[in-house]
Amino acid sequence: MLLTLILAPLAGAALLAAWRGAGDRAAGRLAAWWSLIPIVLVALLGFRGANAQGLMADWSLDWIPDAGITLSFAVDGTSWLFLLLTALVTAFVLAVSIQKGLTSRSYAALILVMETMLLGVFTARHFIPFFLGWEMTLIPAYLLIRLWGGPNAPRAARRFFIVTLGGGVCMLLGFLALQIGVNTMDFGQLTEMASKGELAAGLATTFAGTGLTGPTLLLTVAVAVLLGLAVKIPIVPFHAWLPDAYAEAPTPVTMLLTGLLSKMGVYGLLRVFLPVFPEVYATLAPWLAALAVATVLLGAVAALAQKDLKRILAYSSVNHLGYCVLAAAAVVASQGDRESASSAISGAFLQAFNHGIIASAMFFGIAILESRSGGLRGLDDFGGLRARVPVLCGLMGLAIFASLGLPGLSGFIGEFLVFNGTFGLLPWAAAVSVLGLLFTAIFLLRLIRKVFHGPLGQLGSNWADLSASERWLFAPVIALIVIPGLWPQVLLQFLNADTLRLLDFLKP
């Protein structure tokens, strides 16, 4: 079933490739309907529940036995949540793309290809399948930005591609060193060895010729891996590719970038980096905390200066994912404080999931503004739209308030748990990062004020409010913002067992 799930979108892409006579509209519809298949499969997995090892499904194949390379995939509760996010956001993006008239066969097929790669990343239990998925998402992402993006898309896409590829190469080199040093790239085995402190020792023996100590070698490896993750999430200062890429990509593709691709980085940080490198926590802790605070603050402050709605939300994404990094920093600094660490980890996963949903909703709102206004999306282009399009304003406002962490909506619980987990361990980092929550409110409320409030200008004076199909598209996303906000357990129940299992490996 897991293999079926991972390959289902790819099969859809193949179908599109084979269906030569398809018109654009038909192709877009096929892809959108097809993308419901992974949702159903993910839901079935969820109903099946986890076995005694905490797995809902697994599949593996010895690919290159001589090198110990297996294509192994498994789904536990945490992976499942990311699969759900992937399936939901992809389907949403394909549906929104139809609204925007982005329906050519190649466009839809590329999105489906990307979905397969993402599903692979979120379930991989070995570095090779993880890395294959990780890098192969780049190709469709690059093409989607390059071909369907704005006027400066080629440059933005190229930079996105090269910088993330560079990060990927660093990560690859890091794991390569582990393969050579300790003879495995299997995440489970690496975690097991790391919890016994064997990684540094293994590297020291193998690379004795370099004259470096085991901890130094392991730290180098960890930094290399972190670099790859840092570009993807992104962590400041490895974020420079992001604003242009988000702004130039067609808005549905921006949803994919922020809703899903950035989550690969968060997922990798929490589920690969944390379990594999506990031996270097002590050295990394202050640096990671500083980078997290820089990410939170820079994202929020830079967003204050933006005039383009998509760039505002791009920096807002940097800020929001910064809280996930902050949580990771807290775990790195946790030294056996299980309650703080479990709060931070739970918060980071919730934040990642909720950000994916909330950002999709906000970008959908922008997509609607763009199509109504003929492509305008400057902060000062609009004004007073609430008088004409109150439903759009209400729904986008709800997403915005969720984004700024209003309790009762989904964003709050993740942020509460992150800060709760961080405060006891890194009090100053938590206290300073709270400024990020404040600045978020400033730039998001200013967005509402400039776009929706004030006197109605020329632009928008003849707009129609949301059509029925637009309302139906908004409905599931809004439900996914409201329900987990009131009832966080609906998401947390999938995380808790894995969180405790993860903590068992993180000995101080």
Partner 1 sequence: MAEALTPHLPALLWGIPLLPMLAAAAIAFLPNARGRIASKLALGALGLSCVLALLAAACTLTPGEDGPFRLSTVVDWFTFGSTRLQVGVLLDPMTAAMIAMVTFVALWIFIYSTGYMADEKRFGRFFGFLSLFCGAMLMVVLANSLLLLFVAWELVGLASYLLIGFYFEKPSAAAAAQKAFITTRVGDMAFFLGMIWLYRQTGTLLFYDGGDGLLESGALASLAGTTTLGGLTVSAAAALLLLVGAMGKSGQVPLHTWLPDAMEGPTPVSALIHAATMVAAGVFLVARVHPIFANGGDVTTALTATAWIGGITALYAALVAVAQYDFKRILAYSTVSQLGFMMVALGTGGVGAAMFHLIAHAFFKALLFLSAGSVIHGCHGEQDIRKMGGLSKPLRRTFLAYSIGMMALAGFPFLFSGFWSKEAILHSAEIWPGGKGPFALAVAAALLTAFYMTRQALLVFFGKPRQPGVEHPHESPSVMLVPLYVLAAGAVLLSIIATPFWPWFEKWLHGEVAHFHGGAFGEHGAIFLLILSLALVTVGVGAGWAVYRRVSNDSGAPDPLSGKLGPLWRFLENAMGFDALYQKAIIGPLARLASLIDALERGLMVPLMAAGETVLKAFGRLTGAGDERGLNAGFDGACSGLKRRAAGASRAQAGRIQPYLRTIGLGVAVLLVLYLWL
State which residue, 196 or 307, has the beta carbon closest to partner 1. 307
Terminal-residue alpha carbon distance, the chain: 38
Q: Name the minimum Å distance from CB 345 to partner 1.
A: 8
Residue in 489, 436, 252 with CA at minimum distance from that of residue 360: 252
For partner 1, the closer of residues 57 and 477 by Cβ is 477
Residue in 154, 176, 172 with CA at minimum distance from that of residue 164: 172
How many whole angstroms separate alpha carbon 221 and alpha carbon 179?
A: 11
* Residue closer to partner 1 (CB basis): 89 or 398: 398
Q: Provide, rounded to whole angstroms, the least separation between the CB of residue 410 and partner 1.
A: 12
Distance CA 281, CA 333 (A): 7
CB-based contacts of 147, cutoff 8 Å, min separation 6: 106, 107, 153
Q: What is the CB neighbour count within 10 angstroms for residue 472? A: 11
| 253: three-class secondary structure by DSSP | helix
CB of 427 to partner 1, least distance (A): 8
Tell me if 507 sits within 8 A of 195, measured CB to CB: yes
> What minimum distance in Å lies between the beta carbon of 74 and partner 1?
21
Nearest to 175 by CA among 144, 136, 220: 220
> In the complex, what is the shortest distance from the CB of residue 446 to partner 1, in angstroms, rounded to a whole number?
7
Shortest distance (Å) from residue 396 CB to partner 1: 14
Nearer to partner 1 among residue 37 and residue 441 (C-beta): 441
Locate 236 and state its tokens: 């400041």
Q: How far is the CB of 40 from partner 1 (least distance, A)?
A: 26
Residue among 41 and 199 whose Cβ is closer to partner 1: 199
Rounded CA separation 21/274 (Å): 49
Among residues 41 and 76, whose Cβ is nearest to partner 1?
76
**Number of C-beta neighbours around residue 222 at 10 A:** 22
The residues near 85 (Cβ < 8 Å, ≥ 6 apart) are: 259, 260, 263, 352, 353, 356, 357
Of 41 and 395, nearer to partner 1 (C-beta) is: 395
Pick 363 or 412: Cβ nearer partner 1: 412
Please, what sign has the CA dihedral across residues 440, 442, 447, 453?
A: positive
Nearest to partner 1 of 16, 57 (CB atom): 16
Nearest distance, CB of residue 454 and partner 1, angstroms: 5
Question: Looking at beta carbons only, is 171 or 218 nearer to partner 1?
Answer: 171
* Contact partners, residue 373, CB within 8 Å, separation at least 6: 381, 382, 459, 460
Cβ 3 to partner 1, closest distance in Å? 21
Q: What is the CA radius of gyration of the chain?
A: 22
C-alpha distances in Å from residue 117, one per residue of 121, 260, 338, 352: 6, 11, 33, 18
Q: What is the largest CA-CA distance in the chain?
A: 74
For the CB of residue 1, give the shortest distance to partner 1 in the complex, in Å.
26
